[in-house]
Amino acid sequence: MKDKKGIILTGVSSHLGQALLKEILTKYNYKIITTSRRPNDLKFNIDSSRHLHLNRIDLTKEACLGKLKKAASSFIKNKFDIIHSVGNFWYHVPFSDYPIEQAKVMMESHYITLYGVCYEMLPLMIENGGGHIIAFSCNSVRYNYPNMAAFTSAKAAVETFIKCLANEYSKYNIVANAMALASLQTDTVKKSKPYGDFDNFMSLKKVAKTVLKINNEELSYLNGNVINLFQYSDSFYNAGYLERNRLE
Protein backbone atom coordinates (compact mmCIF):
# COMPACT_ATOMS: atom_id res chain seq x y z
CA MET A 1 0.00 0.00 0.00
CA LYS A 2 1.27 3.47 -0.88
CA ASP A 3 2.54 5.49 2.10
CA LYS A 4 0.36 8.35 3.31
CA LYS A 5 1.40 11.91 2.55
CA GLY A 6 3.44 13.24 5.45
CA ILE A 7 3.40 16.41 7.48
CA ILE A 8 5.89 17.81 9.97
CA LEU A 9 4.25 20.08 12.54
CA THR A 10 6.77 21.91 14.68
CA GLY A 11 5.81 23.68 17.90
CA VAL A 12 2.87 21.41 18.60
CA SER A 13 2.66 22.45 22.27
CA SER A 14 1.58 25.98 21.30
CA HIS A 15 -2.12 26.88 21.22
CA LEU A 16 -2.04 27.05 17.44
CA GLY A 17 0.01 23.86 17.19
CA GLN A 18 -2.58 21.97 19.23
CA ALA A 19 -5.40 23.31 17.06
CA LEU A 20 -3.55 22.33 13.89
CA LEU A 21 -2.90 18.82 15.17
CA LYS A 22 -6.56 18.36 16.09
CA GLU A 23 -7.62 19.50 12.63
CA ILE A 24 -5.15 17.13 10.96
CA LEU A 25 -6.37 14.18 13.00
CA THR A 26 -10.01 15.02 12.32
CA LYS A 27 -9.89 15.77 8.60
CA TYR A 28 -6.70 14.40 7.03
CA ASN A 29 -4.96 11.08 6.60
CA TYR A 30 -1.39 12.32 6.97
CA LYS A 31 1.52 10.60 8.59
CA ILE A 32 2.54 13.12 11.22
CA ILE A 33 5.77 14.08 12.95
CA THR A 34 5.31 16.64 15.72
CA THR A 35 7.94 18.42 17.78
CA SER A 36 7.96 20.37 21.04
CA ARG A 37 10.78 22.06 22.91
CA ARG A 38 9.64 20.85 26.32
CA PRO A 39 8.26 17.51 27.52
CA ASN A 40 4.71 17.57 26.23
CA ASP A 41 1.54 15.61 26.88
CA LEU A 42 -0.32 15.88 23.59
CA LYS A 43 -3.59 14.64 25.12
CA PHE A 44 -4.45 12.84 21.91
CA ASN A 45 -4.63 9.11 21.33
CA ILE A 46 -2.84 8.67 18.01
CA ASP A 47 -1.93 5.46 16.21
CA SER A 48 1.87 5.15 16.53
CA SER A 49 2.05 3.89 12.95
CA ARG A 50 0.67 7.25 11.90
CA HIS A 51 2.24 9.63 14.40
CA LEU A 52 5.71 10.22 15.82
CA HIS A 53 6.27 12.86 18.48
CA LEU A 54 9.70 14.26 19.32
CA ASN A 55 9.96 16.24 22.55
CA ARG A 56 12.89 18.25 23.97
CA ILE A 57 13.59 19.43 20.41
CA ASP A 58 15.20 22.87 20.41
CA LEU A 59 15.21 23.85 16.74
CA THR A 60 18.02 26.36 17.25
CA LYS A 61 20.35 23.41 17.98
CA GLU A 62 22.01 21.41 15.20
CA ALA A 63 21.78 18.16 17.17
CA CYS A 64 17.99 18.53 17.50
CA LEU A 65 17.64 19.40 13.82
CA GLY A 66 19.61 16.25 13.07
CA LYS A 67 17.18 14.17 15.15
CA LEU A 68 14.26 15.62 13.23
CA LYS A 69 15.90 14.90 9.88
CA LYS A 70 16.68 11.31 10.87
CA ALA A 71 13.11 10.76 12.08
CA ALA A 72 11.62 12.19 8.89
CA SER A 73 13.84 10.11 6.61
CA SER A 74 12.78 6.87 8.31
CA PHE A 75 9.14 7.64 9.15
CA ILE A 76 7.93 9.40 5.99
CA LYS A 77 8.58 7.79 2.61
CA ASN A 78 6.45 10.03 0.41
CA LYS A 79 5.87 13.73 -0.23
CA PHE A 80 5.56 15.76 2.95
CA ASP A 81 4.75 19.26 4.07
CA ILE A 82 6.11 21.41 6.89
CA ILE A 83 4.00 23.66 9.08
CA HIS A 84 6.26 25.69 11.33
CA SER A 85 4.45 26.96 14.44
CA VAL A 86 7.44 27.97 16.57
CA GLY A 87 8.32 31.27 18.21
CA ASN A 88 8.31 33.10 21.52
CA PHE A 89 5.28 35.13 22.55
CA TRP A 90 5.40 38.92 22.07
CA TYR A 91 4.55 41.65 24.54
CA HIS A 92 4.15 45.39 24.00
CA VAL A 93 7.49 46.59 25.31
CA PRO A 94 9.27 49.87 24.44
CA PHE A 95 12.43 49.34 22.40
CA SER A 96 14.65 50.83 25.13
CA ASP A 97 13.28 48.31 27.66
CA TYR A 98 13.99 45.25 25.52
CA PRO A 99 17.58 44.02 26.06
CA ILE A 100 19.74 42.87 23.17
CA GLU A 101 19.88 39.31 24.49
CA GLN A 102 16.09 39.08 24.51
CA ALA A 103 15.98 40.41 20.96
CA LYS A 104 18.45 37.70 19.90
CA VAL A 105 16.28 35.01 21.47
CA MET A 106 13.20 36.40 19.73
CA MET A 107 14.96 36.30 16.35
CA GLU A 108 16.25 32.81 16.99
CA SER A 109 12.88 31.44 18.08
CA HIS A 110 10.98 32.70 15.03
CA TYR A 111 13.49 32.95 12.20
CA ILE A 112 16.53 30.80 12.98
CA THR A 113 14.32 27.81 13.85
CA LEU A 114 12.58 28.11 10.46
CA TYR A 115 15.90 28.52 8.64
CA GLY A 116 17.31 25.43 10.38
CA VAL A 117 14.29 23.23 9.71
CA CYS A 118 14.26 24.17 6.03
CA TYR A 119 18.02 23.75 5.71
CA GLU A 120 17.81 20.17 7.00
CA MET A 121 14.49 19.15 5.43
CA LEU A 122 14.66 20.58 1.91
CA PRO A 123 16.99 17.91 0.47
CA LEU A 124 14.65 15.21 1.78
CA MET A 125 11.57 17.05 0.50
CA ILE A 126 13.12 17.23 -2.97
CA GLU A 127 14.07 13.55 -2.85
CA ASN A 128 10.49 12.66 -1.87
CA GLY A 129 8.89 14.70 -4.65
CA GLY A 130 8.37 18.16 -3.12
CA GLY A 131 5.83 19.59 -0.72
CA HIS A 132 4.51 22.69 0.98
CA ILE A 133 6.12 24.87 3.64
CA ILE A 134 3.95 27.14 5.77
CA ALA A 135 5.34 29.55 8.36
CA PHE A 136 3.48 32.09 10.46
CA SER A 137 3.95 35.83 10.44
CA CYS A 138 1.91 38.67 11.95
CA ASN A 139 0.02 41.68 10.63
CA SER A 140 2.41 43.82 12.70
CA VAL A 141 4.88 43.53 9.80
CA ARG A 142 2.45 45.42 7.58
CA TYR A 143 1.52 48.04 10.17
CA ASN A 144 4.88 48.48 11.95
CA TYR A 145 3.36 48.96 15.39
CA PRO A 146 5.40 50.64 18.13
CA ASN A 147 6.57 48.63 21.16
CA MET A 148 6.95 45.44 19.08
CA ALA A 149 10.27 46.02 17.29
CA ALA A 150 12.03 42.74 18.15
CA PHE A 151 9.04 40.53 17.40
CA THR A 152 8.04 42.35 14.22
CA SER A 153 11.60 42.31 12.88
CA ALA A 154 11.76 38.55 13.44
CA LYS A 155 8.48 38.06 11.57
CA ALA A 156 9.68 40.29 8.73
CA ALA A 157 12.68 37.98 8.43
CA VAL A 158 10.31 34.99 8.25
CA GLU A 159 8.34 36.60 5.42
CA THR A 160 11.43 37.51 3.39
CA PHE A 161 12.96 34.08 3.89
CA ILE A 162 9.79 32.33 2.70
CA LYS A 163 9.68 34.46 -0.45
CA CYS A 164 13.35 33.76 -1.22
CA LEU A 165 12.83 30.05 -0.61
CA ALA A 166 9.82 29.93 -2.93
CA ASN A 167 11.72 31.63 -5.76
CA GLU A 168 14.75 29.38 -5.39
CA TYR A 169 13.03 26.03 -4.86
CA SER A 170 9.83 26.18 -6.93
CA LYS A 171 11.65 24.25 -9.67
CA TYR A 172 11.80 21.32 -7.22
CA ASN A 173 8.02 21.31 -6.65
CA ILE A 174 8.38 23.20 -3.35
CA VAL A 175 5.63 25.65 -2.44
CA ALA A 176 6.35 28.07 0.42
CA ASN A 177 3.99 30.65 1.90
CA ALA A 178 3.70 32.68 5.08
CA MET A 179 0.42 33.20 6.93
CA ALA A 180 0.18 36.61 8.60
CA LEU A 181 -2.08 36.32 11.64
CA ALA A 182 -4.01 38.87 13.63
CA SER A 183 -4.78 38.38 17.35
CA LEU A 184 -5.82 34.86 18.35
CA GLN A 185 -8.43 33.87 20.90
CA THR A 186 -6.13 32.55 23.61
CA ASP A 187 -5.96 33.41 27.31
CA THR A 188 -2.39 34.64 26.87
CA VAL A 189 -3.37 37.09 24.13
CA LYS A 190 -6.44 38.21 26.08
CA LYS A 191 -4.28 38.95 29.13
CA SER A 192 -1.82 40.95 27.03
CA LYS A 193 -4.66 42.98 25.43
CA PRO A 194 -7.20 43.58 28.20
CA TYR A 195 -9.01 46.23 26.13
CA GLY A 196 -8.96 44.29 22.88
CA ASP A 197 -12.05 43.14 20.98
CA PHE A 198 -11.55 39.56 22.16
CA ASP A 199 -14.82 38.23 20.68
CA ASN A 200 -13.54 39.19 17.24
CA PHE A 201 -10.04 37.83 17.72
CA MET A 202 -9.32 34.86 15.49
CA SER A 203 -10.67 31.44 16.47
CA LEU A 204 -7.91 28.84 16.70
CA LYS A 205 -10.21 26.25 15.17
CA LYS A 206 -11.03 28.44 12.16
CA VAL A 207 -7.39 29.41 11.65
CA ALA A 208 -6.30 25.76 11.76
CA LYS A 209 -9.06 24.81 9.32
CA THR A 210 -8.05 27.58 6.89
CA VAL A 211 -4.33 26.82 7.09
CA LEU A 212 -4.83 23.11 6.47
CA LYS A 213 -7.25 23.73 3.61
CA ILE A 214 -4.73 25.97 1.86
CA ASN A 215 -1.92 23.55 2.62
CA ASN A 216 -3.84 20.60 1.19
CA GLU A 217 -4.45 22.24 -2.20
CA GLU A 218 -2.05 21.51 -5.03
CA LEU A 219 -1.74 25.19 -5.93
CA SER A 220 1.70 25.63 -7.45
CA TYR A 221 0.86 29.22 -8.46
CA LEU A 222 0.12 30.20 -4.87
CA ASN A 223 3.78 30.38 -3.99
CA GLY A 224 6.03 32.92 -2.28
CA ASN A 225 3.17 34.86 -0.72
CA VAL A 226 2.25 36.42 2.59
CA ILE A 227 -1.39 35.42 3.05
CA ASN A 228 -3.22 37.68 5.49
CA LEU A 229 -5.65 35.95 7.81
CA PHE A 230 -7.88 38.18 9.92
CA GLN A 231 -11.42 38.69 11.11
CA TYR A 232 -12.99 42.11 10.94
CA SER A 233 -13.09 43.86 14.28
CA ASP A 234 -14.99 47.14 14.55
CA SER A 235 -12.84 48.29 17.45
CA PHE A 236 -9.64 47.45 15.56
CA TYR A 237 -10.51 49.46 12.48
CA ASN A 238 -12.18 52.35 14.29
CA ALA A 239 -9.81 52.80 17.24
CA GLY A 240 -6.20 53.93 17.36
CA TYR A 241 -3.30 51.70 18.29
CA LEU A 242 -2.85 53.21 21.75
CA GLU A 243 -6.57 52.88 22.50
CA ARG A 244 -6.56 49.21 21.55
CA ASN A 245 -3.42 48.38 23.49
CA ARG A 246 -3.63 50.53 26.60
CA LEU A 247 -2.83 48.59 29.77
CA GLU A 248 -4.65 50.73 32.30
Condensed to tens digits (0 to 9), the pLDDT of residues 104-157 reads 999 999 999 999 999 999 999 999 999 999 999 999 999 998 999 999 999 999
Give me the count of residues in the chain.
Answer: 248
In this predicted structure, the answer to whether residue 21 has a pLDDT above a threshold of 50 is yes
Percent of residues, the chain, with pLDDT higher than 90? 69
- Helix (H) or strand (E) holding 53, with range, is strand 51-54
- Helix (H) or strand (E) holding 3, with range, is none
In this predicted structure, the answer to whether residue 244 has a pLDDT above a threshold of 60 is yes
pLDDT at 2: 44
- Helix (H) or strand (E) holding 9, with range, is strand 6-10
Q: Rounded mean pLDDT of 58-84?
A: 96
pLDDT at 99: 97
In the chain, the amino acid numbered 204 is L
Do residues 206 and 229 lie in contact, with contact meaning Cβ atoms separated by under 8 Å?
Answer: no
Answer CATH for 6-244 from 1.10.10.520, 3.40.50.720, 3.10.20.70, 3.90.1150.10: 3.40.50.720
- What average pLDDT does the chain have? 90
Secondary structure (3-state) at 34: strand
- Rounded Cα distance between 161 and 179, Å, is 13
List 6's β-bridge partners, or say none: 31, 80
Q: Rounded mean pLDDT of 175-185?
A: 93
In this predicted structure, the answer to whether residue 52 has a pLDDT above a threshold of 90 is yes
In this predicted structure, the answer to whether residue 237 has a pLDDT above a threshold of 90 is no
pLDDT at 125: 97
For the stretch 73-87, pLDDT in tens is 999 999 999 999 999
The model's confidence at residue 194, banded by pLDDT at 50, 70 and 90, is confident
Do residues 24 and 7 lie in contact, with contact meaning Cβ atoms separated by under 8 Å?
Answer: yes
Kindly list the distances between the CA atom of residue 19 and the CA atoms of 5, 26, 186, 218, in Å, as whole numbers in the listed order: 20, 11, 11, 22
